[in-house]
Structure 1
Amino acid sequence: MAFEGEEPTDEALVARVATGDRTAFAVLVNRYGLRYRALAFRYLGDMARAEDLVQEAFVKLWTHAGRFDAGKAKFTTWFHRIVVNRCLDDKRRKKADPLPEGFDQADERPDAEAGLAEESGKARLRLALDALSDRQKLAVTLSYFDGLSNVEAADAMDMKLKAYESLLVRSRAKLRERLQAEKQQLFDALG
């Protein structure tokens, strides 16, 4: 997907998508598909659902690119909002019943134990994140996993900067409290 001269900006690509330019759309998908899939996965904890939601967000981009106003926001901030809204909508929907107990086979490979230990740490962090409210979890995800500045994250959440920073402080405090309690439980279990 080559363009003559310099690579076009995201905003220029969105303008071209609004005219039906499939090449411009493909460039945006290639630039940001993995980034937003990771965002959705961190928020939902389900890769298949994350992929579906990001695909839906890109379909929305294709059909509504003309609504993008480069004067109001950067493309990444606008598209973050679309993905976040899809995730929030998904969280509100009823969840499917879990698979029956013992459905998965045990992994007998030699390095399985090390993998499980690493996954256990990630799982503890995921559980601690899940204990946060949806808005707190989103604030932590945007700032620490997606690397957005506070201004960008506040825009993505459609909040004033001071309100976002206050939310982030409360989120970190609750996360720290949850992880400290878990750490103390682990030490108590050993003693």
Structure 2
Amino acid sequence: MLHQCFNIVLGLLLIIQIFLLIRLCARPQKSKTELFILGSGGHTREMLHILSLVKPTDPIFVHADSDILSKDLTSKIYQESKFIPIVRARQVKQSYFTSIFSTVHALFKSFKIIYDTKPSLLISNGPGTALPLMLSAWILTKLNFINCKTVFVESYCRIQHLSLTGKLCKFFVNEFVVNWEGIHKKGMKYIELYPK
């Protein structure tokens, strides 16, 4: 059963790769779209702080479809902005095995969101929802469909160790920002975003 599922996923990825290779010669359109990934709880509060520093003109927000609170909180400040729901790559307390399938599902949705919005900038501050979106933006940029700079800001609460999302995203983001000198490593930028 697992072998068949794996073959199906590989087959779908091969079809997508062929489609993308056909479009390889396409030039990415210039875009001013700024995409921000909201996460539940403290991630949203941190993102609102980042937004106060970045001051986007017309941001688009992506949030987990089950995270209405983050959308409501952000929409109070950014009333005219567009909010796009996405399925979670992994639900709270979901097993790692079944999260493989939900992550693949989220990845397909992410490709559509990134391709449709064609962001020039994608910023996340650590929620798991970011992983498929960051990966999609990286792949579509490498394939010359879009021209998107990706920035991952590790959550402020990560003092000694990177989050799982951070550990995975660090391989394919343009800028990786940490808030604490204790986890600052080669290839990362240490920026003090919050007063200590």
Question: Same fold judged by TM-score > 0.5?
Answer: no
User: As a proportion of its length, which structure holds more strand?
Assistant: 2
- TM category (shorter chain) comes to under 0.3
Q: TM-score, normalised by structure 2?
A: 0.22
Q: TM-score, normalised by structure 1?
A: 0.23
